[in-house]
């Protein structure tokens, strides 16, 4: 949760000291490269598929997003909110997308691609949450007005990211 992969090396060193009498403990290895590969190529796809399975069983969902700069790169985290009987309201990071253009149409295209990639029905989208800029909620050509042409009962939500 927010730790760099470099800190993983410190964790392994600590585990070797804690389990110094264990042969398994002494042979453990997981540096930043291996930790990143496990996170990106094993854990993230596994948990994303679990989220998608839960959303598929849910009747509706909402999406929140907000562009933010990371150096020279524009990142858009897409947060999905849905309801399950077991957990109630669930809020999950669906994906973080790199999007160099911040126009309404580009954001909508990215959102559609994301939904298509995860086989999510756009008609189950109840609301979008974003900051109150003209790009997101302007009257004429905004993310909200473009999506509302396709999802007639779409609601405006607050940004919760």
HSE-CB for 10 with a 13 A CA cutoff: 5
Q: What is the reported pTM?
A: 0.77
Distance CA 156, CA 126 (A): 9
**CATH 3.30.420.40 placement within the chain:** 59-157
Residue 122 clears pLDDT 90, i.e. is over it = yes
Name which residue leads in pLDDT, 140 or 3.
140
DSSP string spanning 68-121? EEETTEEEEEEEEEEEETTTEEEEEEEEEEE-S---HHHHHHHHHHHHHHTT--
Categorize the per-residue pLDDT at 146 as very low, low, confident or very high, splitting at 50, 70 and 90.
Answer: very high
Distance CA 78, CA 66 (A): 8
Percentage, residues of the chain above pLDDT 70 = 96
Token duo for residue 81? 């909110």
- Low-confidence winner among 3-12, 32-41, 115-124 (lowest mean pLDDT): 3-12
The alpha carbon dihedral of 67, 93, 155, 119 has a sign of positive
pLDDT in the model for residue 61: 94
Percentage, residues of the chain above pLDDT 90 = 44
pLDDT in the model for residue 80: 94
Taking only the tens place, the pLDDT of each residue in 31-86 is: 788 888 888 899 989 999 999 999 988 889 999 998 888 788 888 899 999 999 98
Closest CA to 94 of 74, 67, 76: 76
pLDDT in the model for residue 116: 95
Taking only the tens place, the pLDDT of each residue in 93-105 is: 999 898 888 889 9
- Read off the pLDDT of each residue in 23-38 and give the average, rounded to a whole number: 84
Strand partners, 90: 82
Helix (H/G/I), strand (E/B), else coil: 140: coil
Distance CA 69, CA 74 (A): 5
- The CATH homologous superfamily to which domain 59-157 belongs is ATPase, nucleotide binding domain (3.30.420.40)
Does residue 140 contact residue 47 with C-beta atoms inside 8 Å? no
């Amino acid at each position: 949760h927010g730790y760099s992969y470099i800190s993983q090396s410190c964790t392994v060193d600590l585990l070797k000291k804690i389990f110094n009498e264990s042969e398994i403990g002494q042979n453990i290895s997981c540096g930043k490269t291996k930790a990143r590969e496990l996170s990106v190529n094993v854990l993230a796809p596994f948990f994303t598929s679990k989220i998608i399975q839960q959303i598929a069983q849910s009747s509706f969902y909402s999406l929140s997003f907000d562009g933010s700069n990371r150096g020279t790169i524009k990142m858009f985290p897409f947060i999905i909110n849905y309801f399950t009987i077991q957990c109630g309201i669930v809020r999950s990071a669906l994906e973080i997308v790199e999007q160099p253009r911040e126009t309404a149409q580009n954001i909508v295209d990215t959102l559609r691609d994301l939904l298509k990639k995860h086989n999510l029905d756009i008609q189950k989208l109840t609301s979008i949450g974003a900051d109150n800029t003209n790009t997101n909620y302007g009257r004429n050509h905004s993310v909200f007005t473009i999506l509302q042409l396709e999802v007639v009962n779409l609601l405006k939500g607050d940004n919760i990211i």
